[in-house]
Amino acid sequence: MDANCIERIVSEDYADFLTDYTRNLETLQNDPNICLDIINENIATIFVDKNLLIPNAIQVYGYSVFPRCFGLLDINSLEPSGITRLRNIPTFSLQGQDVLVGIIDTGIEYTHDAFKFSDGTSKIASIWDQTIQTGTPPEGFLYGTEYTMDQINEALQNPNPLSIVPSTDVNGHGTLLAGIAAGTISPENSFSGVAPLAQLVVVKLKPAKQFIREFLIIPQDVECYQENDIIYAAKYLISVATRLKKPIAICIGLGSSQGAHDDRGFLGSYLTSIARRTSTAVVIAAGNEGNSGHHYYGSIDPSVKLNTVELRIGPNEPGFMMELWGDAPNTFSIDILSPTGEFIPRIPARLGESRVIKFIFEKTVINIDYEFVEAQTGSQLILMRFTDPTEGIWKFQIYKSLDLNSKFHIWLPMRQFLSTETYFIRPDPNYTLTAPANTYIPIVVTAYDHTNQSLFIQASRGYTRNEIISPVIAAPGVNLIGPSLNNSYTTASGTSLAAAHVTGVAAMLLEWGYVKGNYVQMDSVEIKNFILRGAKRDPNLTYPNREWGYGILDIYNSFISLRGE
């Protein structure tokens, strides 16, 4: 990237887009209005003056170029996972020694006792704070500030540590995940991280730009992070692991209900590519959308020729986005009936169909775009963006064009981006995994309550829209103790906590396999299969299934399986 373009990364005057640049690299490089930053052999970010954007950008460039916006997935567990039993075997004592744990989230409270070794030094190898532009970025990156272990240790010796390393976590989510995966043991707080001897590498994500928030109609008071910043974060973690020559287990505790909910998409594809890397584990939270009422699944009866979808919109809902994804080769179209009785006749399924619908007796405005062949999936997308929607029951009649496959899905935003009083009247709890959990190489984790063996009530359910099995394993994720802000501890629940738990287990396996030389070719696939072989399964259930994947985590049993018992 041209040095003159670096300011565009953080400037609110420029819009970020993701693209598969291989098809038009020369055109992009020669456009004076575009700055191009290549991420890998397929993906690049482009930065464009938002004042130059055309109104029908979706129709011209496609929906997939807009970075998705990811939110946080959350609102004693070692024994049931078999971790304590392994620790009690002297020849094993797997605690993540010489392994890195990567956290991409809200940052970390590095002064917390949970992130210090017994001698008081930090167990954090480095922090990349994307929000601070006054320091030196990591080598090979163009924004944010990197803080090394030496700088962090210097800060810990100072009465005012933030004067040396000003990065911290004001939310607490990243601190909690880092602690559950790799926090130092604290008997007085009944706490231990799963891999307490592992070192941490942390990325504090910068908030999404106002441009993308407004386009996606995301509330101003919730955390939201852009897809391209998360990809850069993952790339940074791999660069640190390569430089330090250590294996790494990466935890993704973020999610989005945008997209086709299949194994395609820029972030999912990138995480899949690094998950194939030897000595690397990528662990992803399934999401907390199972009982949100934000997914509708339907098919069109040939005798009726339509399917009626009812959506309840709650009071004072400022706006939201809704996506209908239809299975090819059929094409789908809709009509709309508002709560006050205003009827929008069937909008034909035509190439380039884009409308702005303004209602006469209410303030509601709906922007509708039809994308016949969405670039990444080949499926049809009908994108609807609501502004000031009227409270009450909205009805959408869905039509198809051919007597072929007539299945379709509709997704509302994830629960943090929408009020609890907006939901489908007849929702489907399946296919509610949040991106990037709609994938098959990384390890996708759901949550259960280890005290009563019940599934976490909010847990998202599989599979992916193209029927790939996900999630694959259930781990403790209900009422877990973990580090919180101001050097305290708290109790929390959610699938991101379960993912952090499994990230710690992956660090243990990397210590056993890669560091100790028992299985040096370990990657995410090998680690996943190792975990699945030891999973506990209920004889009354069929596996795999949409709720539990292949069963409940039991890492001790995974090692027992190596004996052929």
> What is the helix (H) or strand (E) element at residue 504, kind and residue range?
helix 495-510
Would you list the DSSP string of 266-314? HHHHHHHHHHTSTTEEEEEE--S-TTSS-EEEEE--TTT--EEEEEEE-
At residue 349, the pLDDT reads 84
* pLDDT score at 405: 64
DSSP state of 513: I
In the three-class reduction of DSSP (H, G, I as helix; E, B as strand; rest coil), residue 507 is classed as helix
pLDDT tens digits, one per residue of 173-203: 999 999 999 999 999 999 999 999 999 999 9
Side by side, which strands form the sheet with 43-49?
Answer: 14-20, 43-49, 34-38
Confidence of residue 373 (pLDDT cuts 50, 70, 90): low
In this structure, what is the dihedral angle of CA atoms 92, 96, 99, 105, given to the nearest 10 degrees?
A: 160
Closest CA to 199 of 186, 187, 183: 183
**Whether the predicted pLDDT of 42 surpasses 70:** yes
Mean pLDDT for all residues in the chain = 92
Residue type, 59: Q
Is the pLDDT assigned to residue 26 strictly greater than 70? no
Report the share of the chain in percent with pLDDT over 70: 95
Q: What average pLDDT does range 289-311 have in this prediction?
A: 92
Q: How far apart are CA 399 and CA 409, in angstroms?
A: 13
Question: At residue 503, what are phi and psi to the nearest 5 degrees?
Answer: -60, -40
Is 210 or 564 the better-scoring residue by pLDDT? 210
Q: List all residues 6 or more positions away from 354 whose beta carbon is below 8 Å from its beta carbon.
A: 56, 58, 59, 367, 368, 369, 370
Q: Which domains does the chain have, with CATH numbers?
A: 3-53 (no CATH), 83-290+435-561 (3.40.50.200), 295-424 (2.60.120.1290)
Over 80: is that where the pLDDT of 345 sits? yes
Q: What is the pLDDT of residue 75?
A: 47
Q: What letter does residue 549 receive in the DSSP assignment?
A: B
Peptide bond into 90 cis (omega under 30): no
Given this model, what pLDDT does residue 50 score?
86
Average pLDDT over residues 541-555: 97
The 10s digit of each residue's pLDDT in 313-331 is 999 999 999 999 998 778 8
pLDDT band of 3, cuts 50, 70, 90 = low
Tens-place pLDDT, residues 110-136: 999 999 999 999 999 999 999 999 999
Q: Which two tokens stand for residue 5?
A: 């373009």
- Positive or negative: CA dihedral 508, 510, 512, 516: negative
pLDDT of residue 351: 81
Summarize pLDDT for 43-77 with one digit per residue, the tens. 999 898 888 887 777 777 788 889 999 998 764 55
Strand partners, 323: 383, 411
pLDDT reported for residue 41:
87
For residue 492, name the pLDDT band (cuts at 50, 70, 90): very high
Show the tokens assigned to 40: 């890998």
Q: Is the pLDDT of residue 339 over 90?
A: yes
Q: Which of 50-54, 138-142, 145-149, 351-355 has the lowest mean pLDDT?
A: 50-54
Distances in Å between the alpha carbon of 485 and those of 151, 179, 501?
21, 11, 19
291-302: average pLDDT: 93
Count of beta carbons in the 10 Å neighbourhood of residue 457: 12
CA distance 188 to 486: 16
Is the backbone peptide bond immediately before 544 cis, with ω within 30 degrees of 0? yes
Helix axes 173-182, 495-510, angle to 10 degrees: 40
